[in-house]
């Protein structure tokens, strides 16, 4: 470890001096204390979005405060919906429930529909990724079906299932399944030949191959599909619930519109946005945990 002594301009050149360099290793660089780290995080990461948000809210307040404004300003929204904000666990009759229960009902439908889509999507994706014949047979059909808008499936599922709730779940399923199928298939088609050869030399059974090679190798692709799928599901549930009614954030918005409670709608949109963001992050986090090491081959 060599420490350089700083150059001092006033040192006269004729006077040479033996400088003893410190021999003990320099102390390890101290990690910034927690407080300093937090301050750096606050100014670097936290401040920009907060300031932007504040500016937008002020702008909105100004624009919506005029006499002819169609939408309430944020201050009105908060005062109008104060009861909803402060009592999310309110239990009333019928669809008169607190925000927590509304969102929970929607999340439940998404969870069921999404879970079925994961199982079916990975299964079908594995099939068409693995078998050229299955790909040629199914891929064109999938490519056409996946462009059908989610809500277009709703009447059909209502006719077939005769139940609003199951139909909403079906809409979620049919929305989420395509990106999962397609990404899984691509992931499996991209498994390096080497891994297949390893599996063949080891004589892994098809089931072992599926669990030990195929799924982990394709996991980064599968998770990309899951992330797209969860976003689409959350988009679709709000629309589907508007049509089927019952408890749920979608119908809450529709109901608020019918009773001209614009502030409630705005609050609901904020919640919908936050939950959608959280769902996306949740899947991203799961992906990071599951695919540790896989991505960097």
Partner 1 sequence: MANKYLSVELVDKSFERGGSTTEVLRQVSFVVDRGEFVSIIGHSGCGKSTLLNIVAGLTPATTGVVLLDNRVVDAPGPDRAVVFQNHSLLPWLTVYQNVRLAVDKVMAGKGKAERHEWTMRNLELVQMTQAAGRRPAEISGGMKQRVGIARALAMQPKVLLLDEPFGALDALTRAHLQDQVMQIHAELGNTVLMITHDLDEAVLLSDRIIMMTNGPAAHIGEILEVPLPRPRRRLALVSDPTYLRCRAAVLKFLYERHRLVEAA
Which residues of this chain interact with partner 1, rule CB under 8 A?
192, 194-195, 197-198, 200-204, 208, 212-213, 216-217, 219, 291-294, 296-297
Cβ 126 to partner 1 shortest distance, Å: 17
Q: How far is the CB of 227 from partner 1 (least distance, A)?
A: 19
Q: How far is the CB of 289 from partner 1 (least distance, A)?
A: 12
Give least dist CB 125 to partner 1, A: 18
Give the HSE-up count for residue 62: Cα atoms under 13 Å, Cβ half-sphere.
6
Buried b (16+ CB within 10 A) or exposed e, 109-140: bbebbbebbbebbbebbbbbbbeeeebeebee
The length of the chain, given as a count of residues: 297
Question: Which sign does the torsion angle of CA 117, 123, 125, 127 carry?
Answer: negative
Task: Kindly tell me which of 213 and 256 has the beta carbon lying closer to partner 1.
Answer: 213
Which one, of 117, 89, 82, 94, lies nearest residue 104 by Cα? 89
User: Which of residues 158 and 217 has its CB atom nearest to partner 1 in the complex?
Assistant: 217
Q: Which residues pair with 91 in a beta bridge?
A: 97
Residue closer to partner 1 (CB basis): 51 or 295: 295
Contacts of 63 (CB under 8 A, 6+ apart): 69, 73
Q: Please, which residue, 274 or 295, has the CB nearer to partner 1?
A: 295
Three-class SS of residue 216?
helix
Q: Rounded to the nearest whole angstrom, what is the least distance from the CB of residue 218 to partner 1 in the complex?
A: 11
Q: Which is nearer to partner 1, 56 or 198 (CB)?
A: 198
């Amino acid at each position: 470890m060599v420490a350089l002594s700083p150059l001092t301009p006033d040192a006269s050149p004729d006077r040479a001096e033996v400088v003893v360099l410190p021999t003990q290793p320099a102390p390890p660089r101290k990690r910034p204390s927690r407080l300093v780290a937090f301050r750096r995080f606050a100014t670097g990461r936290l401040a920009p979005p907060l300031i932007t948000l504040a500016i937008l809210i002020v702008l909105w307040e100004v624009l919506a405060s005029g006499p002819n404004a169609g939408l309430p300003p944020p201050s009105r929204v908060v005062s109008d919906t104060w009861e909803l904000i402060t009592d999310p666990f309110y239990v009333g009759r019928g669809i008169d429930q607190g925000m927590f229960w509304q969102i929970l009902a929607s999340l439940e439908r998404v969870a069921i529909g999404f879970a079925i889509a994961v199982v079916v999507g990975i299964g079908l994706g594995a099939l068409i990724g693995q078998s050229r014949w299955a790909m040629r047979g199914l891929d064109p059909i999938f490519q056409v079906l996946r462009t059908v808008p989610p809500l277009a499936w709703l009447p059909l599922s209502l006719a077939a299932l005769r139940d609003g709730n199951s139909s909403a779940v079906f809409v979620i399923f049919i929305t989420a399944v395509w990106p999962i199928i397609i990404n899984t298939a691509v992931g499996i088609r991209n498994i390096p030949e080497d891994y297949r050869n390893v599996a063949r030399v080891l004589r892994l059974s098809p089931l072992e191959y599926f669990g030990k090679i195929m799924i982990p190798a394709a996991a980064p692709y599968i998770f990309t599909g899951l992330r797209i799928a969860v976003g689409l599901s959350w988009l679709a549930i709000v629309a589907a619930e508007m049509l089927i009614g019952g408890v749920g954030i979608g119908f809450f918005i529709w109901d608020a519109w019918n009773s001209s409670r614009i502030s409630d709608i705005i609050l609901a949109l904020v919640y919908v946005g936050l939950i959608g963001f959280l769902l996306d992050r949740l899947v991203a986090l799961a992906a990071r945990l599951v695919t540790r090491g896989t991505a960097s081959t």
